[in-house]
Structure 1
Amino acid sequence: MDPITAVDLYWRPGCPFCVDLMARLSRSDLPVREFNIWEDDEAAARVRAVADGNEIVPTVFVGGHSMINPSFGEIEAAVRAHAPELLAS
């Protein structure tokens, strides 16, 4: 399995939940990769695969663990469980 190097955030323009989560993540020390599902067909397909065929955002992946519209606390918990190496020491 490839090492986890970042939290993957899937979003789209006009999504207020995405904006809020992006702002909170930007204030953290977590590395984040952002994917706009309206510009990236593969990103949209990945979201649909975990959201019963829907394009629900924000969707976040920590390695193979997916979360739909998670709180920052849920993301932190997933990082602790699945990718503790992403936490600042």
Structure 2
Amino acid sequence: MTRARILPVLFLLCGAALATGLVLKGSPGTAVALLLVFVVLAGVNSPLVFPRSIGALEAQRRSAADGRPVVYWRPGCPYCLRLRARLGRHARRLHWVDIWRDPAGAAAVREANGGDETVPTVVVAGRPHTNPDPRWVREQLSRSA
């Protein structure tokens, strides 16, 4: 199992265990509600919420060709989730790199952030920006179109 899926799987397992305990105690309605909360938490922290990740080298190549920003992210990061949610449908136009799946992406983030794996790190025209405002990212995306 990859690191990206550990947190969502833990949410599902904990939710299932708690829901089972509630069902055995005679509270099936509460169990269903609690299980739904854990399923939502698992979904939000899943890599499935984000556009398909590509490798850092491929993202850099594509960005050089089309001028679109590269977003380095990782599952479970609330700031990455905020960026993704606030970008809405525009998020699919960016190049997303999951640093937990791509060692070159993690290295690029560490280089940009003084050795820290701080995400989201958005690279626009070769310049990294750590945790930028989503409106600013949307502006950069409209400039590259």
TM-score (norm 2): 0.50
| Cα distance change on mapping 1:52 and 1:29 into 2, 3 Å | closer
Of structures 1 and 2, the larger Rg is shown by: 2
Aligned positions, number: 82
Task: Provide the rounded CA distance (Å) in 2 between the counterparts of 1:63 and 1:22.
Answer: 20
Q: Does 66-75 or 37-46 show the bigger shift?
A: 66-75
Q: CA RMSD in A?
A: 2.2
When you count strand as a share of all residues, which structure comes out higher? 1
Runs of 4+ in 1 over 4 A off after TM superposition: none
Percent of residue pairs identical: 37
Q: Does 1:85 align with 2:144?
A: yes
The answer to which structure, 1 or 2, has the higher relative contact order (CA under 8 A, 6+ apart) is 1
Could you say which residue in structure 2 is the equivalent of 1:35?
97
In structure 2, the gaps of 5 or more residues are: 1-63
Question: Gapped runs of 5+ residues in structure 1?
Answer: none
TM-superposition CA deviations, 1:32-84 (whole Å, max 9, x none):
1111101100000110111001000011011212110011122245x27xx82
Answer 1 or 2: which has greater helix percent: 2
Q: What is the TM-score normalised by the length of structure 1?
A: 0.77
1-structure distance, mates of 2:134, 2:110: 22
Q: What does 1:27-66 correspond to in 2, within 5 Å?
A: 27-28=89-90, 31-66=93-128
